[in-house]
Chains A and B, each alone.
Chain A
Amino acid sequence: MKLLYNIHIQKVGDQYLGITTGDDAAAIPGILRFNETGATIVRLLRNDISRDDLLTTLQQEYDAPLPLLSQCLDDLLSYLQQSHLLTISE
């Protein structure tokens, strides 16, 4: 799976803004808001990556229980999919 648009992540305080840029700015003119983990996932999704690989990378980066990370990841992937921001390759 991979992001459909170029999304720049900008840290502002404890929020991470997701900002579509370039030709994609018109597609989503608003601002997406993520926490730190969400921002990490969005950065990873700039390249084609599987859910399992995402989870493995998150496990290496964050000292959190696996079920919590897994839940976090699924919530965000579901949000991105519902917002038509994600493309899932076969």
Chain B
Amino acid sequence: MTKQEQNIFFSVIRSAIWQRDIVLPQEQFSWKTIIDALQSHGVLAFVADSIMSLPHHLLPPPDLQERIMKTVAGIVRAHYRVNKVICEVFELLEREGFKPVLLKGQGLSQQYPDRFVRAVGDIDIFIGRERFWEACDIVSRYCGGDGAEREEDLTIHWSAFKGDIDIEVHQVAADTAIPSIKDEYNRWAEQQLLSSCSYVTINGRSIRVPDRQTNSIYVFEHLLKHIRVEGIGIRQFIDWLMILRSDALDTSPFSNPDTLNTAPLSSTLDTTPLSRFHILDAWQVLGGILVWQLGFPQDAFPCWNEHKARHSQGRNLQYIIDAGNLGHDTAEAKGYYHQPPSLKRNISALRYYWHHIQFEYHLFPYDTISKTRKRILKKL
């Protein structure tokens, strides 16, 4: 995407988040590039209403409008399918005395002004270690199996498919972006998830979800895991924003950012876990994307640090937009993997890894230094 297309991309997203008008340039641009990017970042259905509310002469070409409509219809249908499965599984688990907690996905949809337009993924259910395999047996039988096969080396979750829907039963909350804090983080998360929960209503049924305090940390940690290992979409930044916003908002989720009441957020969000789990730097760096690209009010962002937030911009932002996953799929990285060995390839690789390490250092200084030291010592 060009700089101009990037501006349109974020203007469209801000419009959907804050109910503002989309700002389009006078010059020609390719709607296809914008819509391809919105789709690959998992937000096309989320922005559909904003795009299609443009004056008729500014709308995308008819074939792209049709693509938007089909994406919306597909996601709405997926919500109904997934919601039905969630209710059935929770019913079965609760009947057996479990207190399951719905993590991520559908629980987060409820934070959106229109819950049917968030991209749908798998179902993550937290059970904890106690009676974990018993819960897996219940889910396995629900999915048509004979019970869950015990896996001795299982670290995070066990999963089964109900049709095309992946149900993941978690014994611990998450794999963390920083491996060294995994155990401590999961002890904290388990305590939080089992002691203090909120409820959302899905198909008329109350479903346990993490409370906003826990969720703001949990969803951010999950975002970091994606940014470091699995690849990321702007949708995950919007998830994070929606949690912070729902906490910051006084009343309506449709409020204009200028009228946000910041007091509840600063008073309720305990940012201690950010320091404790060495993710405060990453929070402050990536806060730049929430504030400058997605329109979150700077004054309302917890632990705002403009100096650190600047590291989320420029080339690092380009990495996230182009490919996510710290640029593993960028032309630069692909150039390295797909070119025959040569000086050009080695220079390309060096440049790529230099930027990669720099960005990692800004996000996870403690971990990057310790990891680099270990690598050097190992080489020696």
Q: A residues engaging B (CB < 8 A)?
A: 6, 8, 10-15, 17, 19-22, 25, 31
Smallest distance from the beta carbon of A74 to chain B beta carbons, Å? 27
Listed by A's residue number, 11 A-B pairs whose Cβ atoms lie within 8 Å are A8-B116, A10-B73, A12-B68, A13-B54, A17-B76, A19-B72, A21-B76, A22-B80, A22-B84, A31-B69, A31-B73
Q: B residues engaging A (CB < 8 A)?
A: 48-49, 51-54, 59, 68-70, 72-73, 76-77, 80-81, 84, 116-117
Q: Is the CB of B73 within 8 A of A17?
A: yes
Known contacts A22-B84, A31-B69, A31-B70; is-contact A11 B49 (Cβ 8 Å) = yes
Q: Is the CB of A12 within 8 A of B70?
A: no
Q: Select the residue from B69, B72, B73 with max chain A CB neighbours within 10 A.
A: B73
A14 to B76 CA separation, bound complex (whole angstroms): 18
Known contacts A22-B81, A22-B84, A31-B70; is-contact A10 B76 (Cβ 8 Å) = yes
- Taking CB atoms, residues of chain A closer than 8 Å to B80 are 6, 8, 21-22, 25
A8 to B51 CA separation, bound complex (whole angstroms): 21
Smallest distance from the beta carbon of B303 to chain A beta carbons, Å? 37
- Taking CB atoms, residues of chain A closer than 8 Å to B48 are 12-13
- Taking CB atoms, residues of chain A closer than 8 Å to B49 are 11-13
Known contacts A8-B80, A21-B80, A22-B80; is-contact A13 B73 (Cβ 8 Å) = no
B69, B77, B81, B84: the one contacting A12 at CB < 8 Å is B69
Known contacts A8-B80, A8-B116, A10-B116; is-contact A19 B51 (Cβ 8 Å) = no
- Taking CB atoms, residues of chain A closer than 8 Å to B51 are 13
Q: Is the CB of A13 within 8 A of B77?
A: no
Q: Select the residue from A10, A12, A19 with max chain B CB neighbours within 10 A.
A: A12
Q: Is the CB of A13 within 8 A of B52?
A: yes
| Minimum-distance CB pairs A-B, first 3 | A13-B52, A21-B80, A13-B53
Q: Is the CB of B72 within 8 A of A10?
A: yes
- Taking CB atoms, residues of chain B closer than 8 Å to A6 are 80
Known: A20-B77, A31-B73. 16 other contacts (CB 8 A): A8-B76, A8-B116, A10-B73, A12-B48, A12-B52, A12-B72, A13-B53, A14-B52, A17-B72, A17-B73, A19-B72, A19-B73, A19-B77, A21-B77, A22-B84, A31-B70
